[in-house]
């Protein structure tokens, strides 16, 4: 057994010894979006630091714990804080939480994040229902995708025959529920394409223009490794992104990490309403 599999097994065993919740749905909560767990009934929290060998999150606005509970009748588990490549984690570490939640019984995944707007039609506070993505995270992602699906394989740069085309990584039915939930709640939501970069720096004017030209609507530093891993595990995936700021390459303004957190928190009520609509129509 590989060291990675052993770490996942130990985390799952410890979690099962501390909670009886058997989640049907997993949620990854991005920057500034942790308050969704305040609505959980029968809430239990397990810090990542309590799990032997499990990675620790250091990003702003990420509390670093699994949260179990029931929301609108659906048992679920949420990651209150994710792992990023820019924190120095391997991609195997970045996707470890998704693998743990799947092993606990969650067969669907909602990934959320805060993002920068590339499409000039977007405004701060809008929700983008992610229908596709562009992966600009680099070669390390490929090796980790291999390791997540084939943990006993030698996932080197020279490995061949291990990759699958993911034409539609985001579930159409879940995305349709999200768009309908947004309309009924009064939130502004559009479907769009998410560009994933490694960060942690925000983009230059030239990069913003490039990302928009290749088809991006929003840009961020997460989510794609989780989505690809969830697909390889057979999970249905919904991606939701809160636009915290919209780039204007011709009149650039400085953005700080704290401003992103503050803007995401302001819009999080809209995102929570969408998530609850999806849960009520698909998981209850």
User: CA 145, CA 147: separation in Å to the nearest integer?
Assistant: 5
The structure tokens listed for 117 are: 């707007």
CA dihedral 51, 65, 109, 149 (to 10 degrees): -30
Torsion sign over Cα 275, 118, 60, 84: positive
- Three-class DSSP category at 98: helix
| 146-161 pLDDT tens trace | 655 555 555 544 444 4
Topology given in CATH for the domain delimited by 3-282: Rossmann fold (3.40.50)
Task: Say if residue 200 is preceded by a cis peptide, omega within 30 of 0.
Answer: yes
The pTM score is 0.89
Give the C-alpha distances (Å, rounded to integers) separating 146 from 69, 77, 159, 242, 283. Answer: 32, 25, 9, 30, 30
Q: Using the 8-state DSSP alphabet, how is residue 223 labeled?
A: S
What does DSSP say about strands 218-220 and 65-71: parallel, antiparallel, or unpaired? unpaired
* Residue pair 261/32 in contact by the 8 Å Cβ criterion: yes
Where along the chain do its domains lie? Answer: 3-282
Full pLDDT tens readout for the chain, 284 residues: 357 778 899 999 999 999 999 999 999 998 767 788 999 999 999 999 999 888 888 766 667 899 999 999 999 999 998 988 888 888 888 999 999 999 999 999 999 998 999 999 999 999 999 999 999 997 555 555 565 555 555 554 444 444 556 778 999 999 999 999 999 999 999 999 999 999 888 888 899 999 999 999 999 999 999 999 999 899 999 999 999 888 777 655 666 657 667 676 777 889 999 999 999 999 98
Predicted confidence at residue 202, as pLDDT, reads: 80
pLDDT tens-digit series, residues 44-102: 999 999 998 888 887 666 678 999 999 999 999 999 989 888 888 888 889 999 999 99
pLDDT of residue 161: 43
């Amino acid at each position: 057994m590989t060291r990675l599999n052993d770490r996942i097994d130990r985390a799952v065993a410890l979690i099962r010894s501390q909670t009886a919740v058997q989640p049907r749905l997993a949620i990854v909560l991005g920057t500034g979006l942790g308050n969704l767990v305040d609505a959980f009934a029968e809430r239990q929290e397990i810090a990542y630091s309590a799990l032997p060998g499990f990675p620790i999150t250091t990003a702003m606005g990420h509390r670093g714990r699994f949260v179990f509970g029931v929301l609108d009748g659906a048992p679920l588990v949420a990651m209150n804080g994710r792992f990023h490549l820019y924190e120095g984690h391997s991609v195997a570490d970045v996707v470890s939480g998704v693998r743990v939640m799947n092993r606990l019984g969650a067969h669907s995944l909602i990934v959320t994040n805060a993002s920068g707007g590339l499409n000039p039609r977007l405004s701060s506070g809008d929700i983008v229902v992610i229908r596709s993505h562009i992966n600009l995270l680099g070669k390390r992602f490929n090796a980790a995708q291999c390791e997540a699906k084939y943990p006993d394989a030698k996932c080197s740069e020279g490995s061949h025959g291990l990759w699958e085309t993911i034409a539609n990584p985001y579930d159409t039915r879940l995305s349709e529920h999200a768009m309908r939930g947004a309309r009924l709640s009064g939130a502004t939501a559009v479907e769009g394409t998410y560009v994933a970069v490694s960060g942690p720096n925000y983009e230059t004017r030239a990069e913003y223009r490039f990302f928009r030209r290749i088809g991006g609507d929003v840009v961020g530093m997460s989510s794609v490794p989780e989505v690809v891993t969830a697909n390889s595990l057979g999970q249905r995936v919904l991606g939701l992104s809160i636009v915290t700021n919209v780039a204007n390459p011709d009149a650039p303004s400085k953005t700080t990490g704290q401003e992103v957190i503050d803007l995401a928190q302001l819009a999080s009520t809209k995102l929570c309403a969408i998530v609850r609509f999806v849960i009520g129509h698909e998981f209850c």
